[in-house]
Amino acid sequence: MVQIIGDAISGKEVRSLPQSLWRAEQIRALEREWAEREGLALYTLMERAGAALRTYATHHWPHSRCWWIFTGPGNNGGDGYVLARLARQLGLEPQVIALRDPTELTGDARRAADEWLATGGTVVAAEAGELGRLPAPDLVVDALLGTGVHTRLSPLMTKIVATINGLQVPVLSVDLPSGLNADTGCAMGAVVRASRTLTFIGIKQGMLTADGVDCVGHLDCDPLGVSVPPGWQAAAERIDYPSQYPRLTPRQRSSHKGSHGKVLLVGGNAGMQGAIVLAARACLRAGAGLVRVCQHPDQLPASLYQAELMGSQGGDEERWASVRVVGPGLGQDEWGRRHFESFVNEQVPLVLDADGLNWLAQCPRHQDNWVLTPHPGEAARLLGCTIAEIAADRFAAVQRLQQRFGGVVLLKGAGTLIHDGKGMALCDEGNPGMASGGMGDLLSGIIAALLAQGWSAAEATRLGAVIHGEAADLAAADGERGMLASDLLPFIRRLVNPDTITS
C-alpha cells in the first residue's frame, strides 16, 4: 500500500517511492502475469484500485464530500466507477461524469459501471453541457485515460481537460494524469494538471521527466499487492540522494592529496572565465585532491577567485592530470578548437560539457572514456535534430546519444536521464531554481572530482547528478527564484560527506 507518513512536529509529509520505473506495456504485462499466477481475475485489481483511491482521497481531503469523478472508456474509467460506488458507501456525494455511455463500455470497465448503476448511481454525459446543474465539487477525480494515450487528444477530450484544469479545487489523477504519455512524459496536446496522482503497480517512467514533472503533482504509488517476479527488468531506475549516498564511504585516515586525483579543467575563453571557475570550485568542494585550470591567457589567474586553484603551467597538463573536464567557457573560436583537439583523447577519463559538446557535434567520434553532459540544445546538435525531437522522447534521445558517442551520457533537464550503455537512470532531484547560468558547470566539476577519487564513470555520473540536485534543493530553502550556481557550493561539501549529515 502507499505509504502516507505524517511528521508529528512539522506536519511535512514524507513519501516513499520505489526505485524501479516502468513502461506502460510492462505494467500491463505484470498485471496479466500476476492474475495468472494468483488465479484471480484482473477485476480484483480494479476493486483494489478503487479502495486505495477512496482511502487516499479521504486521507488527503477529509472534509470533501462532493466529488466529481470523470470516467473514460477504459479500465482507468472502471477504477473511477469503483471509487464512486465505494465513496457512496461512506455517505459521500460522488458525481460520475462519463466520457462514454456506460452501456458502450466493455470488459471490466463495463462491470464496474454496471455495479455503480445497480446501487442507484447516476451518470452525467461529459459532452452534454450539464455540469453547471451539478452541485459544485470540492474534489475532482481524473479517471479518464490512464496509460493508453499515444496520440493527441480529441477536441472533446481537450475541452474536458480544460474544464478540469479550470476548476478551482484539488484534482486527484488515477494512475496517470490524462493526456500524459506514460512512456515519454510528453503532454499529448492537453493534459490534466493534478494536485496529486496515485499511480498503481509501479511508477511509469514518463511521470518523472518532461511534462510529467508539472502534471503529476505530488506522486504516490500503490502496488495493489502485485509483486515483481524474479527476472523482470525495469525500464529505468529512479535515483535520488538517499539511494546513492551510501557509496560515499569515509576516506582512509592515511590518505593524502595525491590519493584523490588530479583534475585539469580546460575552458574559460575570453569573457567566459566564470564557467571554468565555477566548475573548478565545485570540483574542489566535491573532494578532488588537486585542481588545475587551463584557460585563455588573457584571463586573470583562477587563484584570485579560489586560492586553492592552480593555473596552467604550459605543456605539462596532459601528463599531469588523472581526469579532465573540457568545455565550460571553452568558446568556438580558434583557441577553443585547438584546446578541444589537444585535450580530447582516450588517454584519461574525461567530462565533456558546453562548448566541448558543440565541438564534438562538429567533429563526431565514439569514445568510452568520457562522460557527456548535454542539455537539450546540445543534444539536438549532437544528433542533428531539433530540440522538439529531443523533448518528444528524452529516453530515446539519451539512448541514441550513448550509442553514437559511447561512454556515459547525462541528458539534463527536469528528470535528468543517464545512460551508460547498460541501463537507464532518472535523477529525481532538483528544482526550477536550477534554471540559471553556471549550474551545468558545477555538475561537470562534481562528476570530475568523483572520477578522480576512484568511482567508475557510471557511478560518478549518478552520484554527481544526485549531489547536484540535492544541493540545489537545499539551497532553494531561501527561494528558487534568484538562486545562483555559487549558492550550491557549501551544500556540495556537506553532501559528499554524508557522515556529517546522518551522524
Binding-site residues: 75-79, 142, 175, 178, 275, 329, 375, 412-416, 440-441
User: What is the widest separation between alpha-carbon atoms in the chain?
Assistant: 85
The count of residues in the chain is 503
Q: Are strands 139-143 and 236-239 parallel, antiparallel or unpaired?
A: unpaired
Q: Among candidates 338, 261, 252, 325, which has minimal Cα distance to 296?
A: 338
Q: Among candidates 15, 387, 427, 3, which has minimal Cα distance to 208?
A: 427
- Distance, in Å, from the CA atom of 228 to the CA atom of 201, rounded to the nearest integer, reads 9
Query: What long-range pairs does 332-341 form, CB within 8 A, spacing at least 24?
Result: 332/358, 332/359, 333/269, 335/269, 335/296, 336/269, 339/266, 339/267, 339/294
Strands (E), 24-122: 66-71, 93-98
Which set of grid coordinates corresponds to residue 232? Answer: 523482470
- Distance, in Å, from the CA atom of 248 to the CA atom of 129, rounded to the nearest integer, reads 59
Which set of grid coordinates corresponds to residue 332? Answer: 568556438
- Distance, in Å, from the CA atom of 183 to the CA atom of 148, rounded to the nearest integer, reads 10
- Distance, in Å, from the CA atom of 358 to the CA atom of 365, rounded to the nearest integer, reads 12
Q: Give ∠ CA 390-177-196 in degrees, rounded to 5.
A: 115
Q: Among candidates 258, 249, 279, which has minimal Cα distance to 463?
A: 249
Which set of grid coordinates corresponds to residue 196? Answer: 496529486
DSSP class of residue 182? T
Evaluate whether 170 touches 391 at the Cβ level (below 8 Å): no
**From the DSSP assignment, how many helices (H) and strands (E) are in the chain?**
18, 21
- Distance, in Å, from the CA atom of 415 to the CA atom of 429, rounded to the nearest integer, reads 8
Strands (E), 295-349: 310-311, 323-326
**Known binding site for (6S)-NADPHX: residues?**
75-79, 175, 275, 329, 375, 441
b/e per residue, 459-496, with b = 16+ CB within 10 A? bbbbbbbbbbbbbbbbbbeeebeebebebbbebbeebb
CB atoms under 10 Å from CB of 176, counted, come to: 32
**Known binding site for AMP: residues?**
412-416, 440
**Known binding site for K(+): residues?**
76, 142, 178
Q: Among candidates 307, 342, 303, which has minimal Cα distance to 321?
A: 342
